[in-house]
Amino acid sequence: MKENICINLKNTEGFISTEEVIALAKQSTRHLDALNAGTGQGNDFLGWLTLPEDIQAQFNDIEKCAEQLRSLTDTTVVIGIGGSYLGAKAVLEALGNSIPANNKNHNIIFAGHTICEDYLADLLEFLENKNYSIVNISKSGTTTEPAIAFRVLRNHLESKVGKEAAAKRIVAITDAKKGALRSLATANGYKTFVIPDNVGGRFSVLTPVGLLPIALCGFDIREIVKGAQVMESITRKNKEAEKNPALIYAAARNLLLRSGKTTEIFVGFTPKLHFMAEWWKQLYGESEGKEGKGIFPAAVDFTTDLHSMGQYIQEGQRIIFETFVSVKNPSKKITIPMEKEDADQLNYLAGKRLTEVNHNAETGTILAHNDGGVPVIKIEVPELSGYYIGQLIYFYEIACAVSGYILDVNPFDQPGVEAYKKNMFALLNKPGFEEASKKIRERLS
C-alpha cells in the first residue's frame, strides 16, 4: 500500500496546543458538511469537489488532443492568467527536469499572464523558428492579458502557416456556450474544451485547463487524478477530525493567525516546488483575502533564500509561521566524492547523498526558526510524482475551502480583483468608462 502525504504539527508546539487544533478541527466538520451539501457561501462554485471522478470521462479526449498537437508541432504556447496557468505550470515544474533545456518532452511556454511588451516581443522572436500551436484558456475570452496575447499570437500563427492550418493548431478552453472565445472557436473551427461553470479558475487544475498542458508534456494525467481521488477519500467526507489532514491544517493555520501570526510562508527545499508555491499563493490569497481578513501567503525557496529572507524569518517581526513541504525521496542520485586534498573541507560529507545534506539543512532550519519564535507546520510528501502532486493539489484545495469558512468569508469569489481593471479600462478610454476616466484624470492632475 502506498504512503499518503501527511501533516506534522510537532514544531507548532509551544505556540498552539494539539488539543486546540483537534477541537477546532472537530468544530470544522460542519464546514465539510456545508461543502458536501452545498449550503455554504459560494455554493455555486463547488464543482471542483468531485472532479477526481467527474474528469475521468474526458481522459481519452484530452490525451487524443495532446497527441494530435504533438504530432503537428514541437512547441505549444499556453495562454492564461491566474488559475488558468498557475496550476499547469506548478505541475510541469514539479514533474519536469530542473534544467528546462534538458526537458525532452513537448515544449510548453506560457503567455497571457503579463502585459509586458518585452516578454511578448521576445516570445514572438523565439517562435519565428518554432513549429508551434496555441492553447487559449479563458472563460470569457475578454480578460485583458490573455485576450491581448491571443490576438497577437493568433495573428502571428496565421501569418506563419495560414488561417486554415492555424485553426488546426489552436485549442480553446472556455465557456460551454457563451463569450468571445466561444464565438471565435465556433467561427474558426477550433478544437474546444469546457471550463465548467461551477469551477473557479484557481480550483481548475484538474479540468482540461491544467490537464491538457500536462498531457502535452507527456505526463500521466490519470496518475495525477488518481492521487487526487485518494486524497478526496481521505478528506472530503472524513469527519474523524484527527485523521483528516485538511481539517488539521485548516485548524492549525487559523489558530496561529489568532495568536498573531498573520503571514504564512510556503517553504520548499527543492526548486521544483517554486511554482507549486505560486499556485498556493493564488489559491489562498484570492480565497481568504477579503473583508479585512485572511492570512498573507508568501513563499521562499530554501536553502537559496536562507541567504536572503532567512535573516528576516529568523529575527524580524514575529508575525510569521511556515509550512514546510518536505519531499522524502528524490528521483535522482548524487553522492559527494572524497578528495585527497580536502581544500574545501567537505570530506566529512564524502559518501553521503546530497538529499541527506538537504534533509539535515531542513531539520536544522526548523529548529533554528522554532528557537526564533516561528512555528512550523510540516507537510510530508513521499516523492514528487504525479500521484503525490495530485494528492497535494486536492489537499490544499479542500483545506482552503474549510479555512475560508472558518474565517467566515466566501472562499470562491474574488471581488477585489476587479478594482484595478476598472481603473485601467478608464485610463485606456474603454467605451462605457467615460465618467470613470474623467474622475481618474482629475485625481491624477
Mean pLDDT along residues 266-277: 97
Q: Are residues 190 and 303 in the same domain?
A: no
Residue-level pLDDT at 215: 97
Residue-level pLDDT at 436: 76
| pLDDT > 80? residue 104 | no
Rounded CA gap, 105 and 216, in Å?
8
- Confidence class for position 326, pLDDT limits 50, 70, 90: very high
Range from 50-64, 233-247, 354-368, 421-435 carrying the lowest mean pLDDT: 421-435
Mean pLDDT along residues 56-75: 97
Q: Are residues 399 and 274 in the same domain?
A: yes
For residue 88, is it within any domain? yes
Residue-level pLDDT at 379: 98
For residue 441, is it within any domain? no
Q: Which residue among 145, 264, 278, 286 is the active-site one?
A: 286
Q: Which residue among 104, 177, 307, 332 is the active-site one?
A: 307
Q: Are residues 34 and 122 in the same domain?
A: no
In the chain, % of residues over pLDDT 70: 100
| pLDDT > 80? residue 102 | no
Q: Are residues 242 and 214 in the same domain?
A: no
| pLDDT > 90? residue 101 | no
| pLDDT > 90? residue 441 | no
For residue 14, is it within any domain? yes
Residue 421 annotated as catalytic: yes
Q: Are residues 52 and 179 in the same domain?
A: yes
Residue-level pLDDT at 23: 98
Rounded CA gap, 144 and 424, in Å?
10
Q: Are residues 276 and 184 in the same domain?
A: no
Residue-level pLDDT at 318: 97
Question: How is residue 326 written as a grid cell?
Answer: 518536505
Mean pLDDT along residues 58-62: 98
For residue 102, is it within any domain? yes
Residue-level pLDDT at 390: 98
Q: Are residues 212 and 294 in the same domain?
A: no
Question: How is residue 275 written as a grid cell?
Answer: 511554482
| pLDDT > 90? residue 410 | yes
Tell me if residue 198 falls in helix, strand or coil.
coil
Residue 242 annotated as catalytic: no
Mean pLDDT along residues 308-328: 97
Concatenated DSSP letters of 24-81: HHHHTHHHHHHHHHT-STTTTS-GGGGHHHHGGGGHHHHHHHHHHHHHH-SEEEEE--
Mean pLDDT along residues 381-401: 98
Tell me if residue 304 falls in helix, strand or coil.
helix
Residue-level pLDDT at 43: 96
| pLDDT > 80? residue 277 | yes
Residue-level pLDDT at 201: 94
Residue-level pLDDT at 105: 81
Residue-level pLDDT at 138: 95
For the purposes of burial, counting CB atoms within 10 Å of the CB of 345, is it exposed (0-12), middle (13-18) or buried (19 or more)?
A: exposed
For residue 56, is it within any domain? yes
Residue 106 annotated as catalytic: no
For residue 439, is it within any domain? no
For residue 413, is it within any domain? no
Vertex 203, ends 199 and 208: CA angle to 5°? 75
Question: What are the tens digits of pLDDT across the range 329-339?
Answer: 999 999 999 99
- Residue 206 belongs to a domain with what CATH number? 3.40.50.10490
Q: Are residues 201 and 265 in the same domain?
A: no
Please say which residue of 206, 222, 238 terminates a domain. 222
Per the structure, the complete domain to which residue 193 belongs is given by 47-222
Q: Are residues 96 and 214 in the same domain?
A: yes
Residue-level pLDDT at 325: 98
**Total structural domains within the chain:** 2
Q: Are residues 298 and 241 in the same domain?
A: yes
Termini Cα distance of the chain = 67
Please say which residue of 222, 255, 270 terminates a domain. 222
- Confidence class for position 433, pLDDT limits 50, 70, 90: confident
Question: What are the tens digits of pLDDT across the range 82-97?
Answer: 988 999 999 999 999 8
Range from 68-72, 304-308, 436-440 carrying the lowest mean pLDDT: 436-440
Rounded CA gap, 49 and 237, in Å?
11
Residue-level pLDDT at 151: 97
Q: Are residues 151 and 249 in the same domain?
A: no
Residue-level pLDDT at 72: 96
Residue-level pLDDT at 431: 84
Mean pLDDT (the chain) is 95
Residues 6+ away with beta carbon under 8 Å from 91: 205, 210, 214, 219, 224, 386, 389, 393
Q: Which residue among 163, 178, 293, 421 is the active-site one?
A: 421
- Confidence class for position 429, pLDDT limits 50, 70, 90: confident
Mean pLDDT along residues 290-301: 97
Q: Are residues 106 and 202 in the same domain?
A: yes
Please say which residue of 203, 222, 241 terminates a domain. 222
Residue-level pLDDT at 354: 95
Residue-level pLDDT at 421: 80
Residue-level pLDDT at 395: 98
- Confidence class for position 147, pLDDT limits 50, 70, 90: very high
For residue 106, is it within any domain? yes
Mean pLDDT along residues 185-203: 96
Tell me if residue 383 falls in helix, strand or coil.
strand
